[in-house]
């Protein structure tokens, strides 16, 4: 099912990201880790932080990786690392965006400088 999911949804990955992708990129998502692990491996992304969800039951094994939880997990895994560029399609990621040198909000195919107040 995962293979079929990514065959159907791989095209949703923005072409601009594929062009600028770097070996030290980190994907941080509230989506289940098991769902993203496959595409991260295919794209050569080594660092994935996501929600731990049992693929058989759909139950969370810990906190959902969203909002401040993303910050906590990033800092735990990458001590003293500065985020150079941060991209998200959701304002709920503001806590993580505030850690970045540059943050961008993605709206469709537009990339907008994130205005953090």
CA 56 – CA 47 distance, rounded (Å): 24
Domain boundaries, the chain: 2-113
Is the confidence at residue 94, as pLDDT, over 90? yes
What is each CA distance from 117 to 28, 54, 97, 101, in whole angstroms?
22, 37, 11, 14
Whole-prediction pTM? 0.91
> Mean pLDDT throughout 86-102?
96
What is the gyration radius of the CA atoms in the chain, in angstroms? 14
> Over 90: is that where the pLDDT of 3 sits?
no
| Size (the chain), residues | 117
- Pairing between strand 47-51 and 83-88? unpaired
Is 117's pLDDT higher than 80? no
Band of the pLDDT at 116, cuts 50, 70, 90?
confident
Parallel/antiparallel/unpaired status of strands 100-107 and 83-88: parallel
Using one digit for the tens of pLDDT, what is the confidence trace for 49-87?
A: 999 999 999 999 999 999 999 999 999 999 999 999 999
Longest alpha-carbon distance in the chain: 42
């Amino acid at each position: 099912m995962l293979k079929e999911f990514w065959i159907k949804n791989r095209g949703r990955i923005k072409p601009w990201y594929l062009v600028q992708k770097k070996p030290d990129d980190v994907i941080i998502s509230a989506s289940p880790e098991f769902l993203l692990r496959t595409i991260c491996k295919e794209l050569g992304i080594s660092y994935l932080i996501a929600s731990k969800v049992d693929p058989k039951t759909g139950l969370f094994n810990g906190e959902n990786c969203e909002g401040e939880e993303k910050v906590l997990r990033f800092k735990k895994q990458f001590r003293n690392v500065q985020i150079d560029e941060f991209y998200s399609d959701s304002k709920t990621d503001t806590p993580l965006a505030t850690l970045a040198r540059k943050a961008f909000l993605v709206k469709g195919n537009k990339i907008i400088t994130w205005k953090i107040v």
